[in-house]
Amino acid sequence: MPSQFLSSEEYDERAHQLYNEGQYDEALDVLREGLGLYPTAVELHVGLGYARLAREEYAWARRTFEESLVLDPEHEDALAGLGETLLKFRQRDAALRCFRQILELGYQDDTELMLQVGRALFREHGDSMPLMAEAKEFFDIALAQQSDSAEATSYVGYAEHRLGDEDAAIATLRRALQLDAEYSEARIYLGNLLYDRGDAEAALYHLDRTVPGDHWEEFGIFRLLELKKSIHRIADDDPEMKSWEDRIAELGEMDDIDELLDGVTADFHEALEGGARNQLELFGALLTDFVEKKTVPDSDEAADSTPVADQAAKGAVHLVRTQDGREFVGTWEAIVRGMQDAAPQNAVLSLEEFMRTEAVRVSTVFGVTVPATDAESFVRGSASAGLLRIVQ
């Protein structure tokens, strides 16, 4: 039952704490409860977006961040979240527009935000050197604001390495460890760089100053064990090796799950990129995500027994088909209401608010204008923009 005496800020704080603890399902429940009481609280919408992003519900996260920007078009965390989500859909230009807007709004002094954006670009850069250069730019901005940050320094070093400047990367990572000798992530990265250069003793110096729990990749541990055996002459059955071997086994189990998830993700992206799909077509598909093919009229009997096209032919006013083949039939208002029903969080909006929300979203992400004055204009405008097709 909703806690009637909690303010929207208290809901946000409670959800934020759960999020930081990795309890994303619980955070989502708190945010939904809060939005039931405070449907226009932008911070709750933004929090909901990040909870869904953490749960890898990318379509829902994207929609939620876009709705947050309708409430506050200059909300820096919503822009960062939307940009990060758009990268998941490989819509890099749209993501960069979001990140650039953060800079235009003057948030360069927010070190954590700059690192967040830089990390998102770093993770999703693929083989795109321009995207890695963008990541480094945000890391550089963060470091300029907080020159004693080992984290910001190390991220600059990672980007330098990915951009091919190995000497600069090694120097930068050594500087990060001077700032914080316990920063194991930078130490592991540096150890592996030195190993690749053939500097075995220097690599062992750094890798040997880590513990098994610091490692999330098996190859770093394999290299450490190899160096211990070759330089320190440690035997395979030495008790010192067991904790490292146990960690390799743990990471191997994780890799099995990751391999499965990677396969699913690859299939998902392949489906998105198939045929002639473009950004507008993807948005059209998102409009009807999670909705079964169904009719909009209220008559359950007609919906159950008559195909959509047949119902249109028997007197329903219009038939609309989205880019992914979903169909809606009925009056203009009924069709738009069916689209609104695609996402439970839109239930708190009136039909007019929903159309305005969608119109702003399309304009923000794709630069396409869709009228929102009435249902017919909205549907026809969406069709002109390529988001759907009016069949009848």
pLDDT in tens, 325-369: 778 888 888 888 888 776 655 555 678 877 877 776 666 555 667
Q: 376 lies in a domain?
A: yes
Residue 27 clears pLDDT 80, i.e. is over it: yes
Number of domain units in the chain: 2
* Domain boundary residue, one of 73, 98, 123: 98
* Domain boundary residue, one of 42, 67, 98: 98
Distance, CA of 151 to CA of 156 (rounded, Å): 9
SS3 annotation, 104-122: HCCCCCCHHHHHHHHHHHH
pLDDT of amino acid 347: 59
Q: Which residue has the higher pLDDT, 26 or 271?
A: 26
Question: CB–CB of 68/75 below 8 Å?
Answer: yes
Question: CB–CB of 64/33 below 8 Å?
Answer: no
Residue 249's nearest CA partner among 200, 215, 198 is 215
**pLDDT band, residue 142 (cuts 50/70/90):** very high
Q: 246 lies in a domain?
A: no
Q: Which domain holds residue 63?
A: 1-98
Q: 109 lies in a domain?
A: no
% of the chain exceeding 70 in pLDDT? 78
Distance, CA of 371 to CA of 201 (rounded, Å): 66
| Domain at 44, CATH number | 1.25.40.10
pLDDT of amino acid 343: 60
Q: What is the pLDDT of residues 180-228, one digit of tens each?
A: 999 999 999 999 999 999 999 999 999 999 999 999 888 889 999 999 9
pLDDT of amino acid 363: 63
Residue 95 clears pLDDT 50, i.e. is over it: yes
Distance, CA of 328 to CA of 172 (rounded, Å): 57
Q: 321 lies in a domain?
A: yes
Residue 275 clears pLDDT 50, i.e. is over it: no
Distance, CA of 188 to CA of 207 (rounded, Å): 6
pLDDT of amino acid 323: 67
Residue 131 clears pLDDT 80, i.e. is over it: yes
Q: Which residue has the higher pLDDT, 181 or 233?
A: 181
pLDDT of amino acid 312: 45
Residue type at 391 in one-letter notation: V
| All residues at 6 or more sequence positions from 189 whose CB lies less than 8 Å from its CB, including other chains | 154, 157, 158, 161, 173
**pLDDT band, residue 391 (cuts 50/70/90):** confident
Helix or strand (DSSP H, E) at 35 = helix 24-37
DSSP 319-334: EEEETTS-EEEE-HHH
Q: What's the mean pLDDT in 77-85?
A: 97
Residue 278 clears pLDDT 80, i.e. is over it: no
Residue 44's nearest CA partner among 58, 64, 63, 24 is 64
Q: 298 lies in a domain?
A: yes
